Amino acid sequence: MANDFTPEQRKRIRERYLRVDTSNVADVLDTLGYLDQGLSPDFRPYPREAGQLAGWAYTVRGQMTPYELGGDADKMQACQGLSEGEISVWSGDGQGICYFGELIAIGMKERGCLGALVDGGVRDVRWIGAQKFPVYARYRTPVQSIGRWKVNAWQIPVYLRGATTPLVRVRPGDFILGDDDGVIVIPFEIVERVLDEAEGLTQKEVQIRARLQEGLTLAQALEQFGHV
């Protein structure tokens, strides 16, 4: 599990994942029999230039619940548990509302959180972008969650919309990787194996690109290096 790694090991693993693409990670997961780890293409970076999302999952779940205005104490309590190197993963049945905005993003960042993955909405996009805090969400909206959507659990397995399956399970400690191609979930049991093999694929692609620039044809490159 991620909890079995020391803080330094967690940091180093994350740094290495930042140097591989989600596409290579997805290919490795396929070869290992994990065929449904990709999230829905509806997940996009906010702002558009937010950059990569990489870190250990800290899960939060909520649901549509009418209540009086005045804040969501459970949401604030959930965010207090975030720690260095984690990604806050937000799930639930919210529709048309944001799960959080600029101020909570600032609070998460202060605790060492490295970004957010939101199966719902986000607002204050411009100001979150100024914080250099990457957020991947399904949509943006100015409508707040207070009075409409309420956190009811955290640090439990949650389910997010998938690319090849209706839902993808995300557990505390799974690894989240997002880039221009989308978002993928790496189960914590195989996080190192997937990383090692994805790095191998990445190196092979570097060699292929170099040979193509030297004048090798694509057919020749595939014959030499095999399918990638």
* CATH number, residue 167: 3.50.30.40
Q: Is the pLDDT of residue 118 over 90?
A: yes
Domain-located, residue 198: no
Q: Which residue has the tokens 């959507």?
A: 149
55 pLDDT tier (thresholds 50, 70, 90)? very high
How far is it, in rounded angstroms, from Cα 194 to Cα 225? 20
Q: Please give the tally of structural domains in the chain.
A: 1
202 within domain boundaries: no
Residue 7 inside a domain? The answer is yes
Query: Is residue 59 a contact partner of residue 156, using CB atoms and an 8 Å limit?
Result: yes
Residue 155 lies in domain: 2-189
pTM of the model: 0.90
Q: What is the average pLDDT across 170-198? A: 97
Q: Tell me: the pLDDT tens digits for 72-103?
A: 899 999 999 999 999 999 999 888 999 999 99
Flag whether 66 is in a domain.
yes
In a domain, 147, yes or no: yes
Residue 228 has a pLDDT of 59
Give the mean pLDDT of the chain: 92
Query: Band of the pLDDT at 3, cuts 50, 70, 90?
Result: low
Q: Is residue 9 part of a domain?
A: yes
Q: How far is CA 152 from the centre of its chain?
A: 21
Inside any domain, residue 118: yes
At residue 218 the predicted structure's pLDDT band, cuts being 50, 70 and 90, is low
The residue-averaged pLDDT of 63-78 equals: 90
Distance of CA 69 to the CA centre of its chain: 30
Residue 22 lies inside a defined structural domain of this protein? yes
**Range of weakest confidence among 1-5, 60-64, 126-130, 149-153:** 1-5
Check residue 94 and give its pLDDT.
Answer: 86
Q: Is the pLDDT of residue 1 over 60?
A: no
Contacts by 139-144, CB closer than 8 A, 24 or more apart: 139/42, 140/46, 140/98, 141/96, 141/97, 141/98, 142/98, 143/96, 143/97, 143/98, 144/97, 144/98, 144/101
